[in-house]
Amino acid sequence: MRFVSKSKTCLIHPYFRRKASVLSSISSTSNAYHGSGSSKTRASKPITSTKSFSTASIESLQKQGILDDRELLQFNTLHELQKNACIAFSDNEIFGTFVEKKEKGDFEWMTYREFGDKADQCRCVLRDLGVKEFSKIGIISNNRWEWAVIASAAYSLNATLVPMYEAQLSKDWAYITNDAECEVLVCATQDVYDRTVLEVLPQTPSVKATLCLDAPEGEPFAFATHMAFAAKHAPSENTVVKPTPDDLANLIYTSGTTGKPKGVELIHSNTVSNIFGVRAMVDNPKEFIRETDRSLAFLPWAHSYGQTCELWCGLAHGTSMGICRGVPFILEDLQLVKPTVLFAVPTLHKKIYDGVHNLIETSSPLRKGPMTKALALGRKKVDEKNGKGKMNFMEKLQYNALDKMVLSKIRDRFGGRLRHGFVAGAACPSEVINFLDDIGIPICEGYGLTETSPIITLNTPINRSPGYVGKAIPGVEVVVMGEDGFPCAPGVEGEICCYGPNVMRGYYKNPEATEEVLSLAPDGKSRLFHTGDLGTLDSSGWLKVTGRLKEQYKLENGKYVCPTPIEEAIGMSRFVMQVVLCGANRPYNVALIVPDWITIKNKLGIDLPDDELANDERVHRLVMEDIESKCSNIKKFERPKDFAFVAPFTAANNMLTPKMSIRRHMVIREYNDVIASMYNDGGDKDEHHRKAA
């Protein structure tokens, strides 16, 4: 990655809103990324195949253009990716689904060949329902094999997938379906189907057909009924309408922490460029993502992170995915699936981190000693691997013993086979990343947005820097822009911007919103995407995210506060589950905190109802002292001087987006009186504590 000097084209900074003329001058610029460009990935020696098929069959696939000389799958579109993967990895397992059995449930697996057959059948189903080139297909569903089948079938007709979440409100489904002009709507469960029929269809005249995935075969609206009919009529390749790299693959609506959702237009080449960019980051892509790898899919494929990084990138390398039953079952499903790679958000790792440290603190000295020693030796092992000192003979013996006795037990919580994990979606505290390193699970943090397909930067297992979100993937340029409209010097904070083949085509039917985030890039021809995030870029190209531009506010004294890093510091407290910092136009900051009552009770050795704990001075003192400790590196004027306990932020109360981001404005609006009470603006603070919590 390179830095862009100030001698390059001057840009109008987003603070001053970009003019229409800037966008119009680049609107005709193609953002195509052709698969043939993947030949520019970093060269490496040919890799011996671990596949079961013969050398002759490999050569046959190479002649078809499916595999290159390193046996990496080749493709230009997501349709080609799915089709080629089902040929190259036909006997491999791909999707595992939990099935209840008499004694205990387990995962049953589908092969790539079976997946390919079902995608072909589904293409017939969609075609018979009237889907044609450029049609929009809406799907309201959590992860399941049918989701991937419907997406693949849509791409094979050059139609566009419009994914939605089961957790969304009916009004959101109606808005998205209307805005996208979906012609077919697929619902996961009977409940979602019933709500759709009653609350969505009357408002969405574009919908011609609605199917239900859970409905039993025989019902006219059941997906299974249509698939059974299609299975009896062999699908023809003549029905395929091949998309080009520039055709629209996905229309993903941002859940939006403010305002109405915007439809992000991602063309086939956007996602394909991300996959090839990740491959090019490492010398040995087949080692980075192995064909034998297995993941537990609990991140929603309706979001670009889960879809690109797990579903399509996994498919491109022949991996398998066990489909998680839901958040309450994550730990149980980890034991059944035993993943070797894991795509997650920081919350999961933070819970493991808190659980281990709570166990250490509440253990007897006899148990606490070995656990503390094991983590300390784990840190020495990491340092030695990174060239920072060496372990002596005795330390190595101790480490081997304690690894079996202590650290392996922690790794077993992830299933016992995890090689490395990927984390994105929010900043992962460096303490958590270091902890996972210490127990033997390297975590690779990345950064991106739906609008960038999503990957902009990524750490890799052999090139990581905790606290940073990695370096730009090949093909993508990162620029940190200052308020003066010029790129910042290394280490200086500004708005994170990027350009490359990963940048979206635009917001669907929303040129004004598109114009706000796209401008002319420093190369004078590309489209520069303004993320709205604040960050710094060092001289080696490492990116650090420091906050959100729109969330920045001023205190009464005129000092700026960026709440994100402060909330992240507070969130490292094991007594805090969720937090929102407040203080706009106020004399100081305060915090709304969702507490972890179980941990608080265990720490204080008291067992009182939650509403009594909320007003207990011992609890207030414990939490405040821990917050002050966690904020020791935060400027004094940025630290909260007070806090109030509140009820959990959830998607049900509209305080979380479907991808679990906090809707700050909704939280502040709901607890406006609680916030006011902390500034003595009237009202009884203790009463607010009690009601809120």
Residue 29 has pLDDT above 60, yes or no: no
Residue 318 has pLDDT above 90, yes or no: yes
| Mean local confidence (pLDDT), 302-314 | 97
Whole-angstrom distance, CA of residue 343 vs CA of residue 335 = 16
pLDDT of 582-627, one tens digit each?
999 899 999 999 999 999 999 999 989 998 999 999 999 999 999 9
- How high is the pLDDT of residue 332? 95
Q: Which residue has the higher pLDDT, 32 or 394?
A: 394
Residue 69 has pLDDT above 70, yes or no: no
Whole-angstrom distance, CA of residue 631 vs CA of residue 627 = 6
- How high is the pLDDT of residue 493? 94
Residue 250 has pLDDT above 90, yes or no: yes
Question: Torsion over CA of 326, 332, 336 and 337, rounded to 10 degrees?
Answer: 50
Three-state DSSP at 341 gives strand
| Mean local confidence (pLDDT), 345-372 | 90
Whole-angstrom distance, CA of residue 689 vs CA of residue 591 = 12
Share of the chain above pLDDT 70, in %: 88
Q: Give the position of tokens 């070995």.
A: 370
Residue 235 has pLDDT above 80, yes or no: no
| Mean local confidence (pLDDT), 293-309 | 96
- How high is the pLDDT of residue 256? 59
Q: At CA 429, angle to CA 428 and CA 435, rounded to 5?
A: 105
pLDDT of 167-219, one tens digit each?
999 999 999 999 999 999 999 999 999 999 999 999 999 999 999 999 999 99
**Helix pair 597-604, 346-362: axis angle to 10 deg:** 10
Q: Give the position of tokens 């012609």.
A: 183
- How high is the pLDDT of residue 260? 83
41-45, 80-84, 177-181, 230-234: least confidently modelled range:
41-45
Whole-angstrom distance, CA of residue 433 vs CA of residue 442 = 8
| Mean local confidence (pLDDT), 106-132 | 97
- How high is the pLDDT of residue 384? 94
* CA distances (Å), origin 52, targets 55, 91, 92, 292: 9, 9, 9, 11
pLDDT of 498-518, one tens digit each?
999 999 999 999 999 999 999
Beta-sheet strand order (sheet of 443-448): 341-344, 420-423, 443-448, 455-458, 471-472
Residue 558 has pLDDT above 90, yes or no: no
Average pLDDT for the chain: 87
Report the candidate in 426, 457, 456, 422 with the shortest Cα–Cα distance to residue 441: 422
| Cβ neighbours, 10 Å, residue 239 | 13
Whole-angstrom distance, CA of residue 498 vs CA of residue 477 = 5
pLDDT of 518-536, one tens digit each?
999 988 999 999 999 999 9
Give residue 518's identity as a one-letter amino acid code: L
* 486, β-bridge pairs: none
pLDDT of 657-682, one tens digit each?
877 889 888 999 999 999 999 998 64
Domains of the chain listed by start with CATH number: 112-275 (3.40.50.12780), 345-441 (no CATH), 446-550 (2.30.38.10), 552-692 (3.30.300.30)
pLDDT band of residue 61 (cuts 50, 70, 90) is: low
pLDDT of 624-654, one tens digit each?
999 999 999 999 999 999 999 999 999 889 8
Residue 269 has pLDDT above 60, yes or no: yes
The answer to whether the predicted template modeling score (pTM) of the entire model surpasses 0.75 is: yes
Residue 23 has pLDDT above 90, yes or no: no
| Mean local confidence (pLDDT), 271-276 | 97
Report the candidate in 167, 168, 165, 158 with the shortest Cα–Cα distance to residue 138: 165
Whole-angstrom distance, CA of residue 242 vs CA of residue 255 = 30
Whole-angstrom distance, CA of residue 151 vs CA of residue 122 = 9
- How high is the pLDDT of residue 102? 63
